[in-house]
Amino acid sequence: MTSSSKSSATIFGCLFFAAIVAFGYQIQQTAINYKLLDRTVTVKGLAEQEFAADTVIWPIQFTAASNDLDAIYLQIDKQSQQVKQFLLAQGLPEASVTISPPSVNDKLAQQYGNGGPTEFRYTALQTITVYTQQIDVARAAISQLSQLGKQGIVFAQNNYDMRIEYIFSKLNDVKPQMVEESTKNARIVAQKFATDSDSQLGKIKRARQGQFSISNRDKNTPHIKRVRVVSTVEYYLAD
């Protein structure tokens, strides 16, 4: 082998060795970077606010009894008008009051009765529903409903399906603000964790918004709604 060939071989060997070293260094750095990126912390951020309900659904049920079918229909119709006039006098608009057809029960026509004597053959159940966004007006009327009881109207009690329902329908309007708040609260928790572990808080790796929930503030104030959401956020950590 000539001197020129030996020199070329030596240079090629040196370049090849240098390439291997550089490639190895790149692999090492990639592994280190991957390890750093793999360090994360997952935290939750809560946002909770209270809002007044904007709609109320108020079913009013009352009953009547008689041995005469025509008489019970006349009685129910008269009492329905009494209830309606009461509601209008309280300031509720007529369009917010709906009178449903009465439900009349003939005890003698029941196939499976107890067979015992009954004082009244017919009983009727009437439902009048108030649907309005005038929450304060409706609540004031509710507190005065006993006035109708003094006029001989017998209201149905303990019917779960006929409970007053307060609705907050503006959830979409407050969602962006509350998601932002929950994310900020999550970052505060993550920052505290990073500081305590002598780390630097990095970018968000992934985030997940929880479901929004709406509940009554308490059983005595169902017209005040508590809205809450929990966001789960995973952050990168670095030394």
The arithmetic mean of pLDDT across residues 104-119, rounded, is: 73
Asked if 210 and 232 touch (Cβ cutoff 8 Å), the reply is yes
Give dist(CA 115, CA 126) in Å, integer: 26
Residue 24 pLDDT more than 80? no
Which tokens sit at 187? 């970052």
- Max alpha carbon distance in the chain (Å)? 131
Instruction: Judge if pTM exceeds 0.85.
Output: no
Q: In this structure, are residues 148 and 126 in contact, taking their beta carbons and an 8 Å threshold?
A: no
- In whole numbers, what is the pLDDT of the chain averaged over residues? 85
Average pLDDT over every residue of 167-171: 96
Residue 56, pLDDT score: 97
Tokens 């630097």 belong to which residue? 200
pLDDT digit string, tens, across residues 192-204: 999 998 989 999 9
pLDDT of residue 25: 42
Average pLDDT (160-169) is 89
Kindly state the tokens that stand for 92.
């509720």
Question: In this structure, what token pair is assigned to residue 155?
Answer: 């209201």
Q: Is the pLDDT score of 115 beyond 70?
A: no
- Per residue in 53-87, pLDDT tens? 999 999 999 999 999 999 999 999 999 999 999 99
Q: Is the pLDDT of residue 146 over 50?
A: yes
